[in-house]
Amino acid sequence: MDKHILSLQLAHILGESYSREWVYEQIEIPKKDQLGDLAFPCFSLAKDFRKSPQSIAEELASRLDHPQVKRVEPLGGYVNVFLDQTFFAEHTLKQVLSESEDYGSHHFGDGKTIVLDMSSPNIAKPFSMGHLRSTIIGQAVSNLAEKCGYETVKINYIGDYGTQFGKLVAAYYLWSDPEAIKKDPLTELTKIYVRFHEASQSDPSLIDQGRAYFKKLENQDEEVTTLWRWFKDVSLVEFNRIYELLGTSFDLTRGEAFYNDKMDAVVDLLDQKGLLEHSQGAQVVRLDDEDLPPCLIRKSDGTTTYATRDLAAAIDRFESYEFEESLYVVGHEQTLHFQQVKHVLEKLKLSWASDMHHVPFGMILKDGKKMSTRQGKTVLLEQVLQEAMNRALENIEEKNPNLADREKVARQVGVGAIIFHDLKQDRAKDIEFSLEDMLSFEGHTGPYVQYSYVRARSLLEKGSFDPEKASATLKDEQAWGVVKRIGSFPQVVEDAFRSYDPSKVAKYVLDLSKAFNHYYAHTKIIGSEQANERLTLIYVISLILKEGLELLGIEVPEEM
């Protein structure tokens, strides 16, 4: 019995006033085994039923009945459900063995498409830690969506337009060193961009120069456009090297500039619908009824805005893919922007606007502050990834110098450590940048889960396990903690997808690894009377650990 089945039964008993969804949210997994495998608290029902929580628990317990349930105990206002371990173990293992890598999959997304706007670095700047979260959270959410049956379209909507590029062009003409830029384009471009920002503090005329160059870019001035295209080309070369290391790919890489010739149509549509207003020479859509500031559509100098381009992009994406959902995996500092864009589309009476969702996340902080390219305060992702791989290689050379494909395994472990450190965190919280925490190979880390998988595979090899002879008949009380966790994997996948929260999967594989290692330390497996049954359990654990890590976008080595 999973939480879904229990919530269905309880909702039926409680009546129409209590939805299955509400009941489902109340069900808990007790921290102590003696309190059962699932528990339903009755305290919030006391007022409606005019009975004590304990009395309600007793009544509900007397009416619950299911083949997977061994007994139900009302205790302290909780309905504690104890599952039939033998029945559940056999049912669960059979299901995993029959479905193999498909275990945990769902079909509610079949025939539907989800579009993800993710990563989206700005050109002419090195790929910093600040863009890591959007990239790997987006990749993991995409993997979860596909596990639930959806087709996904991953869009890398790169920042290649806006007034900052006018500033960069101005900086290039003022201070560029052609030879230095040729050797290391992004580092040098960042250097002159930072210099422009610093110089403009004392010389405001530089800001006017930047605006003038952006206006030239909008008017497709040949010289400025050629320079801008070069910024873009050298940036993509650098970005693609990072994406290859992270194991991230995109279905479409498209910059904001793609929508240059589509923005007038958006402005005209807003005007036709009577939504466009003039304000101090600019054009805006008022959002007073949503208690939001006006959405700026065109500035007083005639240039367009990020919002204008996002409106054009949103319309284009629905026309291209007829999405079920359109997800924007972008930091929480952009919350107001996405609220404005979504409400403007709703004012245009576009029904699909309600299917657009911002998936916000916290920032990676350095010394408690937001990283900033303009102020020269940033940490380069490539340097962090390289350091992680170097440390992993040192670890391998110290502990297993004869390991084949050492550099490949070092990449899998090092990059995996960085990804896992991020994805195990609550998506909404800020993360303080700490190389030591990210690269720790002990405790609640990616390498710990990877090593648990490798240990499981080693056991199977030593025990000469043959999957064709796997046995789902397992009567082993010591295995119950592991079996319960195996059975919850499909629910974890669904919950992680519906909340767009990969940390649920990261925490799950950590928990399963811990349960497996405890079982391994206290149970004789090879050479025991139940060797084949216990090796079957280890085999199933290995399948799920690998699948869980791959859902997070982490490669799994076969040896470490």
Question: Selecting from 3.50.50.60, 1.10.730.10, 2.60.120.380, 3.90.78.10, what CATH number does the domain 381-424+435-551 have?
Answer: 1.10.730.10
What does the pLDDT read at residue 376?
Answer: 53
Percentage of the residues of the chain whose pLDDT score is greater than 70: 98
pLDDT > 60? residue 134: yes
Q: Give strand ranges (E) for 315-418.
A: 325-328, 356-358, 364-366, 369-370
Q: Quick check: do 118-259+306-370 and 381-424+435-551 share a fold?
A: no
Sign of CA dihedral 124, 125, 126, 131: negative
Amino acid at site 14 = L
- Per-residue pLDDT band for 141 (boundaries 50, 70, 90) equals very high
Closest alpha carbon to 418 in 469, 394, 459, 383 = 383
Give 493-536 pLDDT, tens digit per residue: 999 999 999 999 999 999 999 999 999 999 999 999 999 999 99
3-83 topology per CATH: Gyrase A; domain 2 (3.30.1360)
Locus of tokens 């291209």: 320
Residue 127 has pLDDT above 90, yes or no: no
Token pair 């592991």: residue? 482
* Phi, psi for 74 (deg, rounded to 5): -85, 125
Beta bridge partners of 80: 39, 73
Segment 273-299, tens digit of pLDDT: 999 999 999 999 999 999 999 999 999
Mean pLDDT of 438-442: 77
**pLDDT band per the 50, 70, 90 thresholds, residue 388:** very high
Q: Say if residue 315 is exposed, middle or buried (CB neighbours under 10 Å; 0-12, 13-18, 19+).
A: buried
Would the pLDDT of 52 be above 80?
yes
What are the residues whose beta carbons fall under 8 Å from the beta carbon of 184, sequence distance 6 or more?
A: none
107, pLDDT greater than 90: yes
Q: Indicate whether 190 pLDDT > 70.
A: yes
pLDDT of 136 > 60? The answer is yes
Band (371; pLDDT cuts 50, 70, 90): low
> Which residue has better confidence, 275 or 379?
275
Q: How confident is the model over 232-247, as a mean pLDDT?
A: 94
Instruction: Tell me which of 46-50, 102-106, 435-439 is least confident.
Output: 435-439
**What is the Cα–Cα distance from 309 to 255, expressed in whole angstroms?**
10
Domains of the chain, by residue range, sit at 3-83, 118-259+306-370, 381-424+435-551
pTM of the predicted model, to two decimals? 0.91
CATH code: domain 118-259+306-370 is: 3.40.50.620
Among residues 383, 508, 499, 391, which one has the least CA distance to residue 441?
A: 391
